[in-house]
Amino acid sequence: MPDIRYVCLSDLHLGADNSVLSAIKPGSIEVDPAQTNLVLRQFVACLRTLIAHNTSPEKPRLILNGDILEMALSDTNVAAMIFEHFIELIFPPEGEALFDPHLLYIPGNHDHHIWETARETQYVNFIARIPPGTALAAPWHTTKMVAPDFVPEHFLTNLLRRYPHLKDAAVAVAYPNYAMFSPDRQQSIIITHGHYIESIYSLMSTLNTMIFPNRHRPKTVYEVEAENFAWIDFFWSTMGRSGDVGRDIGLLYDKLQDKQQVEKLLENFSTSLVEKWHHWKWVEGIEAKVLTWLLEVSLGRVAALERHQTAQALSPDAQQGLHWYMEGPLLEQLLIENKQNVPPQITLLFGHTHKPFEEEMRFAGYPAPISVYNSGGWVVDQLQPTPIFGAAAILIDEQLQTTSLRLYNQADSPEDYVVRVEEANSQISTANLFHERIKALVEPATEPWKTFSAAVAEEVRLHAQVLQTKINL
């Protein structure tokens, strides 16, 4: 029988006040990092129920595919404390561990700083071994996707090792892509967080080509990251921790949900700048209405983020970006590192968009359609329940067969929160036995699934209220 060998999670956003995995203080809009909320407890209980049916004594490997800790809109200590709650549930001091204690982390945009600190530490350790006077190689910005040299991640590793029973635990980082292969190399699973499918995350590359027409758009993963890492790390992974400024940036993100609130915010901001700072060269002579228009244009790129697009699982911009990334930088990396060979069967796992889906897609340069799985996100980005948003855990067996444990999609009625198991439509003649087995094991009307669904329905409602309160501030 096929066992669960890997569990891939993304977009938990632990520490964020819009994450349904973060407990909220009663009567408040603030996160309570001392509490473990019911959704997180029941989610782990659901995973434990499934993994208990494994026939092999070998523990599954946990793959954390980006935006696990909220480092853009939450203080590091808050995110870390809620991550600790998660660790205590999957590695109970008294009880059986759910996973192998060696975790794999593929950072996203909201926890990009995990990668930055890991790679900088790696470079410091590298130059410490080089004799003085020797030419130093430039710092590198990515890992290999095929058989990577994983980079040790010290912050999360040390969080785990504070527990006596996890003294040998470790978190290793690969970024931004990671590939697993079957023994015959005919099948591969490629995992990436997915932020580079949105054009805003390669904004520095776009500006570079606009200012210098002789420059080209990056063609390799290394170039993409080298040109844009500082922008992503600053605005999407560290700004939220910049004291009051960071909190105001978070409030601005929330107000993007309400057009009238945005207009009011920008008008007040523009008038204040013109009245108080008219001596600044760039403000001098600009009327408040003109400045408001300029700010609306610039903020429009943020308002158009994929998580604000509710019409379809991937907006036209994201579809175009996914094809560019798969057919360009990622394919180039795969060919270089896999001796110019593209496996005939490929599955792509990504998150980032907060909109889970499973679909077969065709990409130029690949011999067959690719099974694409998106793991969604655990946050409330909209004031009203929006069914296209939800979360999934992607499960993988020893043969790299894949299925999606669709944990929830937002709904108007609590009765419509039901766990289900989905797979990408496949033209492959052989049945996905792993998918069929997991589907048979999930019984939504029984425990722990039933309590999980009720809990997540309530948390979505509660966090929508928190979002409305923040918008009205």
pLDDT at res. 200: 82
Of 227-236, 259-268, 301-310, 353-362, the poorest mean pLDDT is in: 259-268
Whole-angstrom Cα Rg for the chain: 23
pLDDT tier for residue 298 given thresholds of 50, 70 and 90: very low
Closest CA to 26 of 473, 471, 465, 468: 465
Distant-in-sequence, close-in-space partners of 458: CB < 8 Å, separation ≥ 6: 414
Evaluate whether 37 touches 15 at the Cβ level (below 8 Å).
Answer: no
pLDDT at res. 422: 97
Across the chain, what does the average pLDDT equal? Answer: 87
Of 264-268, 280-284, 389-393, the poorest mean pLDDT is in: 280-284
pLDDT tier for residue 275 given thresholds of 50, 70 and 90: low
pLDDT tier for residue 285 given thresholds of 50, 70 and 90: very low
Mean pLDDT of 238-256: 57
Mean pLDDT of 277-283: 44
Instruction: With a cut of 80, say whether residue 247 has pLDDT above it.
Output: no
pLDDT tier for residue 212 given thresholds of 50, 70 and 90: confident
Please report the sign of the dihedral spanned by the C-alpha atoms of residue 198, residue 200, residue 204, residue 207: positive
pLDDT at res. 280: 43
Mean pLDDT of 381-407: 96
pLDDT tier for residue 282 given thresholds of 50, 70 and 90: very low
Global pTM reads 0.89
Q: Where are the domains of the chain?
A: 6-237+305-472, 241-303
Residue 336: which region, alpha, beta or left (left: phi > 0; alpha: psi -120 to 50)? alpha
pLDDT at res. 192: 98
Evaluate whether 304 touches 317 at the Cβ level (below 8 Å).
Answer: yes
How many CA atoms within 13 Å lie on the side-chain side of 250? 25
Mean pLDDT of 323-346: 97
Closest CA to 187 of 16, 449, 434: 434
Residue-wise pLDDT for 12-22, tens only, equals 999 999 999 99
Q: What is the dihedral of CA 136, 137, 143, 145, to 10 degrees?
A: -140
